[in-house]
Amino acid sequence: MKKTLLSIFILSFTIASGSCIAQTRDSLDLKIAQMLLVGFRGMTLAESDPFLRDVKAGRVGSVILFDYDVPTKEYKRNIESPQQVRALTAQLRKAASESGTGIPLFVSIDQEGGRVNRLKPRYGFPASVSQQYLGKLNNPDSTRFYAAKTAQTLAENGFNLNFAPSVDVNVNPDNPVIGKVERSFSAEPRVVAAQAAIIIEEHRKQGIITTLKHFPGHGSSKADSHKGFVDVSDTWKPDEIKPYADLIAKGNVDMIMTAHIFNNRLDANVPATLSKRIITGILRDSLKYQGVIISDDMQMGAIADHYGLETALEKCINAGVDIVCFGNNLQYDPDIITKAMSIIKRLVVEGKIPRTRIDESYKRIIALKNNIK
């Protein structure tokens, strides 16, 4: 009799626990956490590290690695060798698997090639070339060769998300953040789209998700949105949207990153990242893109210097952004996860962000993560 009662108790506890887990998987906290991408410091993470604890608790859905730490001006951030990177990414993925959510972690990096190259040869990684180099060659075989090498390197070292290719059209070759640093394939939208399609295809073969950037086009800017407000109203060309339209129509898009540029021809009030007219009106409604949209780094000067964190979060999520990026490298805030989660949750509770917006983003993120190998 005692054994029977004990068995019933254990069964009841198991069912209750399972119900609790199911509720947790659908909780508002979990959905908000999946909307956060955050950077951190460390070549490895101690078990007591707050960031690792957040990953284990399922409080962050995506992470990003850098080699250079901007605030300290040192190449001592997350990358020093292939062996170390593989150990770090494995540690992060294992921590996410222990969260109990059953949701994998996006482990991301900016690896366009050329100047935007976190996995440098001096750390023991293969050499890369810039997108401008590939665009000038305009040789599909050459692009495929370098893209395959990059994708294989990422897969071998534990990454599953690359913030590349840049599909900014080279409207202004002297652009300090695009053209001048060889990040654009070409001034011809069709060349940009064709080159990007090859990059995406080779990454997909290795199970790496790619990201088109920076919508609706950063190629005409005369200033760097990392440093402050950037107005492209007089320089932006409609051709800058063509690579997106082409790639979306062909089903070649995993994720799209927004630009922090201001363009009063598209929205007279706010930069693109915060603009419902641009993100929902143009990208979702006009171009029919229904996949994941990620913001550019919300700590960049174009946003952080002009909008408070609460205003920026409210506007970008209501605009249609699914993942909010905090590289945590232009400035370092060890509490950014807690701050962002609490602000977003409060905005939902207060009705300033509809719960349906969180649900939409969560569904898109989970659908994309189902493609992780």
Which active-site residues does the annotation give? 226, 296
How many C-alpha atoms does 219 have within 13 Å on its Cβ side?
28
Taking the C-alpha atoms of residue 130 and residue 4, their distance in angstroms, rounded to an integer, is 69
Q: In what order do the strands lie in the sheet with 161-162?
A: 209-210, 161-162, 106-109, 62-64, 36-39, 324-326
User: Which value, in Å, is the radius of gyration of the alpha carbons in the chain?
Assistant: 21
Q: 3-state class of 39 per DSSP?
A: strand
The single-letter code of the amino acid at 41 is R
Query: In 108-211, which residue ranges form alpha helices assigned H by DSSP?
Result: 131-137, 140-156, 189-205
3-class secondary structure, 269? coil
Strands 111-113 and 116-117: antiparallel
What b/e readout covers 66-98, taking b as 16+ CB neighbours within 10 angstroms?
Answer: bbebbeeeeeebbbbebebbeebbebbbebbee
How many C-alpha atoms does 34 have within 13 Å on its Cβ side?
27
